[in-house]
Amino acid sequence: MPVAVTSLDDFSRWARGDGLEIVLLVLGSVLLTRAVTWFSTRLTARVDAADEQSDAVVRSEAAKHRHSLAQAITWAVVALIYAVTAVLVLDRFGVPLATLIAPATVAGVALGFGAQRIVQDILAGFFIIAERQYGYGDLIRIANLNDIRAEVDVNEADLNRVHLGQPAEVTPDAYPDAHYAAEVVKLYPQVDRQKGTLRIEVHIPKPDTRLLPDMSARITFLSEPPPPGQVDTPVVLAPVAALRRDEHGDNFVWIVNDARVHRGRVETAGNVGQRVRIASGLKGGEALVLGDTPLRDGQRVTLEE
């Protein structure tokens, strides 16, 4: 029984001392943050009212800047009030703050290394607002220039030639002499029935400053390197303009032999610039018809010198 009385007396003394201070600190922080928010709201309302009197249609850039800056400062002050209150409350609970210095230091270092991009973005955003490095109505697009990817639509008939992890080469139209190694990282699950194509995405692991978002480029899918000890067979290339497709979706070319054209079915294995790689159907050295002129098998033609 005396133990219970002693415990009750200790709690009563704590409630009249540290407990009451904790309640007052929490209430004071809530009231203070509400006062700061109220003051900010009144200030921005007066700014808006003054601006509406001068121009009822469009706000001035200066008024909108003051509005944004007041909101940013308000949130910063509110966060500071709550942080100080939390420290004071922990002190009233008897938590030894000195023992938290070392863990806080380690956490600060970890935050600096692991979340420095977040901290950098927050500070950059504050200075953008404070220094007015923006304009209302401006379209701002953020892009990660360290993760460049390109997309291309591939015909259904050629999908069996493309797979995940396949090497590729990207050549921007703005820099035709620049070639960037790439790799197939995504095959979209939906085929475009109107065009009969599937969108494929390649990743460029080592981009440079010349590659910019939304640039036009040519993507060449490369064949896998031959296994060790296997001799690589010669590659047959044909102009893209010579390749045609029938009503069944099969690729073919018109081969000129003895002044007559003969239809020859071919299998392709990706493009190499303005030429297409022929996997089967041609041996190399054949004369082919370019363009989309209607022809029939066995038709006589005249070769242009």
Bridge partners, residue 180, by sequence: 170
Regarding predicted confidence, which is higher, 108 or 194? 194
Cα–Cα distance for residue pair 236/128, rounded to 1 Å:
57
- Distances, alpha carbon 7 to alpha carbons 38, 104, 263, in Å: 43, 34, 102
Whether residue 116 is predicted with pLDDT greater than 60 in this model: the reply is no
Percent of the chain at pLDDT exceeding 70: 65
Domain range 236-288, its CATH number among 3.40.50.720, 3.40.250.10, 2.40.420.20, 3.20.20.70: 2.40.420.20
Average pLDDT over residues 4-9: 54
Please tell me the predicted confidence (pLDDT) of residue 106. 63
Query: How does residue 200 score in pLDDT terms, banded at 50, 70 and 90?
Result: very high
For the stretch 221-251, pLDDT in tens is: 887 665 565 545 567 888 888 888 888 888 8
Q: Does domain 153-221 have CATH number 2.60.40.60?
A: no
3-state secondary structure of 211: coil
Cα–Cα distance for residue pair 34/41, rounded to 1 Å:
10
- Using CA of residue 125, residue 130, residue 133, residue 135, what is the dihedral sign? positive
Average pLDDT over residues 126-142: 57
User: What is the largest distance, in Å, between two alpha-carbon atoms of the chain?
Assistant: 121
Burial of 94 (0-12, 13-18, 19+ CB in 10 A): exposed
Please tell me the predicted confidence (pLDDT) of residue 50. 62
Whether residue 35 is predicted with pLDDT greater than 70 in this model: the reply is yes
Query: How does residue 1 score in pLDDT terms, banded at 50, 70 and 90?
Result: very low
Q: Please, are residues 240 and 276 in contact by the beta-carbon 8 Å criterion?
A: yes
Write out the two tokens for 193.
């029935």
Output the pTM of the full model: 0.35
Most confident range, picked from 69-78, 95-104, 120-129, 229-238: 69-78
Please tell me the predicted confidence (pLDDT) of residue 51. 59
Of 91, 209, 227, the residue nearest 146 (C-alpha): 209
Q: Please, are residues 59 and 44 in contact by the beta-carbon 8 Å criterion?
A: no
Query: What residues contact residue 275 under an 8 Å CB cut-off, 6+ apart?
Result: 237, 238, 239, 240
Percent of the chain at pLDDT exceeding 90: 3
Q: How many angstroms from the chain centroid is the CA of residue 6? A: 64
Write out the two tokens for 260.
């007559």
Regarding predicted confidence, which is higher, 157 or 93? 157
Average pLDDT over residues 87-97: 73
Regarding predicted confidence, which is higher, 54 or 223? 223
Cα–Cα distance for residue pair 84/101, rounded to 1 Å:
15
Average pLDDT over residues 104-126: 61
Query: How does residue 9 score in pLDDT terms, banded at 50, 70 and 90?
Result: low
Regarding predicted confidence, which is higher, 207 or 113? 207
Please tell me the predicted confidence (pLDDT) of residue 201. 93
Please give the torsion angle defined by the CA atoms of residues 172, 175, 176 and 180, in that order, rounded to the nearest 10 degrees: -50
Average pLDDT over residues 193-208: 89
For the stretch 13-26, pLDDT in tens is: 666 666 777 788 78
Return the beta strands (E) in the chain as ranges: 148-155, 167-172, 180-192, 197-204, 217-221, 236-239, 244-245, 251-257, 260-265, 267-272, 275-280, 287-288
Please tell me the predicted confidence (pLDDT) of residue 73. 79
Write out the two tokens for 15.
């409630």
List the end-to-end C-alpha distance of the chain, in Å, as a whole number. 119
What does the mean pLDDT of the chain come to?
76
What are the residue boundaries of the structural domains of the chain, listed by start? 2-95, 153-221, 236-288
Average pLDDT over residues 276-295: 84
Q: Hey, how many other C-beta atoms are within 10 angstroms of the C-beta on 158?
A: 19
